[in-house]
Structure 1
Amino acid sequence: MTARFIPLQPTLYPVIVAFFVAVFLISNILATKGVTIGPLITDGAFFLFPLAYVLGDVLAECYGFKAARRAIFTGFAVTLLAVVSFYVAIWLPAADFYESQPEFAHVLGLVPQIVVASLAGYVVGQLLNSWVLVKIKQRTGEKSLWARLIGSTVVGEFGDTLLFCVIAAPVIGITTGGDLVNYVIVGFLWKTLIEVLLLPVTYAVIGWVKRREGYAS
């Protein structure tokens, strides 16, 4: 008797989704740390999270809104599973020889308000980013890739940053209106600037994926 298996489809989509989900999951842990760099107020995920939008652009541009939406909801589900797992692990009684329970709980015991802020900002921002990119592409076709990448980034990053900051600010320690405005503006401008600077990389990745997937312009 010959063993049978389900054949894998030769596509890069699951690999891109895996990196997309990993970036979001790691960013959620890093974002619990407030960071001050000179006059700038941000969080520990400021240098990594923009990559999620680059990968989101690749997914939306190459595979369409439905495929991007599936990746977004996959990231949401995986992060929710991680948070529940963290709390279960914290709740389990520590062994007598384990001396790092307070540190373990402090690092992985993500504050519920941070989790809600992150998940809400992520879903709204990424859906806006993908939707706007696809809508612009429907009007421009294959032309003006830069316009849909920047346009979708501005809309998606603003929605994400605003929602996250408003919900998470009190937990991080931001209590004044001025600091909140600083947090929102700096986060939005920084993430948007990073994506603009990464446009050549995004262009190269999109071109490579399209060639590998046999995409016809």
Structure 2
Amino acid sequence: MIKQILSDKPTRLFLVLAGFFIANAMIAEFIGVKIFSLEDTVGIKRLNLPLFGSNFSFHLTAGVLLWPVVFIMTDIINEYYGSRGVKFLSYLTVTLITYSFLMFSGAIYLKPSEYFTIGNGIDNANNAFKGIFGQGLWIIIGSMVAFLIGQILDVLVFHRIKKVTGEKRIWLRATGSTLISQLVDSFVVLFIAFYIGRRIQEGQGDAWTLKQILVTGTGNYIYKFTVAVVLTPVIYFIHGIIERYLGHALAKEMKDAAMND
């Protein structure tokens, strides 16, 4: 049975794409707790530009390292497996991330042994563990809601553009759908997690102002916008690999079916 499943090229391709999609989304979620300075990382002076009444510099979550891969996987899956394929993997990813955080929460409440150490000069290993894996409930909710809204928007825009352009202009439907979906995603997650959530749930730090939401969201979106454009050749490269793997006849059949999904 397994041999029969794995011998089917579309099924095997879906498993590979799904694996990269889910793995990258989950890793991005877990490392997203870290905020880094893009300018300090690349060794340049911070911009400190006036924006929305505040100083704007690139302060990003570490998750942005992997979300571009999720964007590419979304568009590739959309191309060959349609909206049902993307939605199925999106719902599955949210379920698995939620499950993972529940397991992390359980691990946090386990009483640490005196043998539990991390090293690198960290005095309280249990507090460090809790600080990394114990993200607030509203951060999780905001991230999941933003992810699902972004994925649904990506699917809708992608298919709308393809209906107009046909098989041509892969760059337009892939990059265009990403730019629109991530515009919403970049602000929704911050608004829910740090504006709404911190006003409802006490003890989670000071609530952000709308100015902070706008400034940080703008930085995140500029980064995602730039990466989406830069990665456009990668989408063509992956398309070429898949077309050769499936064969043009099977690839066309799958893409036609995806459009009628």
Tell me if TM exceeds 0.5: yes
1:31 aligns with 2:32: yes
CA distance in 2, matches of 1:148, 1:173: 40
Aligned match of 2:87: 69
Deviations 1:42-63 (A, max 9, x none): 2122222122111111111122
1:169/1:182 Cα in 2 relative to 1: closer, same or farther (>3 Å)?
A: same
1:174/1:213 Cα in 2 relative to 1: closer, same or farther (>3 Å)?
A: farther
1:49 aligns with 2:50: no
Equivalent pairs, count:
214
Aligned match of 1:15: 16
Amino acid at match of 1:208: I
Query: How many angstroms does 1:5 deviate by?
Result: 5.2
1:190 aligns with 2:208: no
1:212 aligns with 2:248: no
Query: How many angstroms does 1:168 deviate by?
Result: 2.6
Amino acid at match of 2:129: F
Task: Tell me, yes or no, if the aligned pair for 2:17 and 2:77 is still in contact at 8 Å.
Answer: yes
- 3-state SS of the aligned residue for 1:92? coil
Deviations 1:103-154 (A, max 9, x none): 1111111211111111111111012112211222122220111111122012
Aligned match of 1:109: 134
CA distance in 2, matches of 1:208, 1:73: 27
Deviates more, 1:203-212 or 1:174-183: 174-183
1:25/1:175 Cα in 2 relative to 1: closer, same or farther (>3 Å)?
A: same
Task: Tell me, yes or no, if the aligned pair for 2:21 and 2:70 is still in contact at 8 Å.
Answer: yes
- Please list, as runs of the form range in 1=range in 2, the aligned pairs for 1:115-194 lying within 5 A after superposition: 115-169=140-194, 175-194=208-227
Q: Give the number of the structure whose alpha-carbon radius of gyration is greater.
A: 2
- 3-state SS of the aligned residue for 1:110? coil
Tell me the TM-score normalized by structure 1. Answer: 0.89
Q: Structure 2: which 5+ residue stretches go unaligned?
A: 40-45, 47-56, 118-124, 196-203, 256-261
Deviations 1:58-108 (A, max 9, x none): 111122111111111121111111111111111223234224222111111
- 3-state SS of the aligned residue for 2:66? coil
Deviations 1:2-30 (A, max 9, x none): xx657213331111111111111111122
CA distance in 2, matches of 1:19, 1:35: 24
Task: Tell me, yes or no, if the aligned pair for 2:187 and 2:213 is still in contact at 8 Å.
Answer: no
Query: How many angstroms does 1:169 deviate by?
Result: 3.4
CA distance in 2, matches of 1:160, 1:68: 16
CA distance in 2, matches of 1:92, 1:177: 38
Deviates more, 1:4-13 or 1:178-187: 4-13
CA distance in 2, matches of 1:120, 1:47: 20
Aligned match of 2:120: none
Quote the RMSD (CA, aligned, Å): 2.0
CA distance in 2, matches of 1:169, 1:117: 9
- 3-state SS of the aligned residue for 2:192? helix
CA distance in 2, matches of 1:172, 1:196: 36
Q: Structure 1: which 5+ residue stretches go unaligned?
A: none
Task: Tell me, yes or no, if the aligned pair for 1:32 and 1:44 is still in contact at 8 Å.
Answer: yes
CA distance in 1, matches of 2:3, 2:109: 39
Determine what percentage of the aligned residue pairs are the same residue. Answer: 23
Task: Tell me, yes or no, if the aligned pair for 1:133 and 1:149 is still in contact at 8 Å.
Answer: yes
1:89 aligns with 2:107: yes
